[in-house]
């Protein structure tokens, strides 16, 4: 199956109200161009350096692209992230909010954010603890960062449904519109629970090489 075929078959399973984010970590430029030629406009990348080298030129060529950062962001890369990305989906702590606000002010460029929630309360994972969510929302807004919604990655090897439902409930509670959840293996379940945005990588681009 080609990238274009994969995109078409996934789009058929997604209501038009749900945004398909094509996750293109480790995907090279030629394959990105195949997705672009198939009309895909929203992409997610995990690593700032990789995204910078792949997308800087492509973004001037394809003006309507929206690039989302969906991987963990170190505060010392906030400047690069604000310059390149159209949304940052992994705001998860006060110190990062401060670094992002500083970068946005310096560049006079406001980049909206999602807050990543550690929905399974897993110690090894990034994401804001559920209990700290209201404080982080208030803090970020106090720095004029626009919080558009929430994102999560449920624990691996568990039924994701209760975690999806929990994120939807939190989004409702804090009156946030965008709910980014669901990947190649579970995007249909996520949509059934109320996802507004799914992040699909391997089902579009094929299996990834394990990261060295």
Ligand X SMILES: *Cc1c(COP(=O)(O)O)cnc(C)c1O
Of the candidate spans 5-13, 120-128, 154-162, 178-186, the one that interacts with ligand X by CB under 6 A turns out to be: 178-186
Name which of 3 and 183 has its Cβ closer to ligand X. Answer: 183
Taking each helix axis from N to C terminus, what angle separates 48-61 and 29-37, rounded to the nearest 10 degrees? 50
23 lies in the binding site for ligand X (CB under 6 A): yes
Q: Select 135 or 186, whichever has its Cβ closest to ligand X.
A: 186
- Quote the least distance from Cβ 140 to ligand X, whole Å: 20
Q: Measured between alpha carbons, how far is 188 from 190 in angstroms, rounded to an integer?
A: 5
Residue 62 to residues 19, 22, 37, 57, 65: CA-CA distances in angstroms?
18, 15, 10, 9, 6
Using CB under 6 A as the criterion, what x/- string covers residues 58-77 for binding ligand X?
Answer: ------------xx------
Cβ–Cβ under 8 Å, residues 181 and 192: no
Residue 32 within binding range of ligand X, rule CB under 6 A: no
Residue 152 near residue 168 (C-beta atoms within 8 A): no
Size of the site for ligand X (CB under 6 A): 14
Specify the residue, 105 or 202, whose C-beta has the smaller distance to ligand X: 202
Q: Cα–Cα distance between 212 and 210 in angstroms, integer?
A: 6
* Cβ at position 208, least distance to ligand X in Å: 7
Shortest separation between residue 156's beta carbon and ligand X, angstroms: 10
Residues 6+ apart with CB under 8 A from 131: none
Straight-line distance from the first to the last Cα atom of the chain, in angstroms, rounded to the nearest whole number: 26
3 near ligand X (CB under 6 A): no
Give yes or no for residue 103 binding ligand X (CB under 6 A): no
């Amino acid at each position: 199956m080609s990238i274009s075929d994969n995109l078409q078959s996934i789009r058929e399973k997604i209501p038009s109200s749900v945004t398909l984010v094509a996750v293109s970590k480790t995907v090279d430029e030629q394959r990105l161009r195949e997705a672009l030629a198939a009309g895909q406009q929203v992409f997610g990348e995990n690593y700032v350096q990789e995204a910078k080298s792949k997308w800087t030129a492509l973004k001037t060529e394809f003006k309507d692209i929206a690039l989302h950062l969906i991987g963990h962001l170190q505060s010392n890369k906030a400047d690069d992230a604000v310059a390149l990305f159209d949304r940052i989906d992994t705001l998860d702590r006060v110190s990062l909010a401060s670094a992002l606000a500083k970068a946005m002010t310096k560049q006079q460029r406001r980049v909206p954010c999602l807050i990543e929630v550690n929905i399974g309360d897993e110690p090894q994972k990034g994401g804001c603890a559920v209990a700290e969510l209201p404080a982080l929302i208030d803090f970020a807004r106090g720095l004029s960062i626009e919080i558009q919604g929430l994102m999560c990655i449920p624990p691996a090897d568990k039924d994701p449904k209760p975690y999806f439902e929990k994120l939807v409930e939190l989004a409702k509670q804090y009156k946030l519109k965008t709910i980014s959840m669901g990947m190649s293996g579970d995007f249909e379940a996520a949509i059934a629970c109320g996802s507004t945005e799914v992040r699909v990588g391997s089902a579009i681009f094929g299996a990834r090489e394990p990261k060295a």
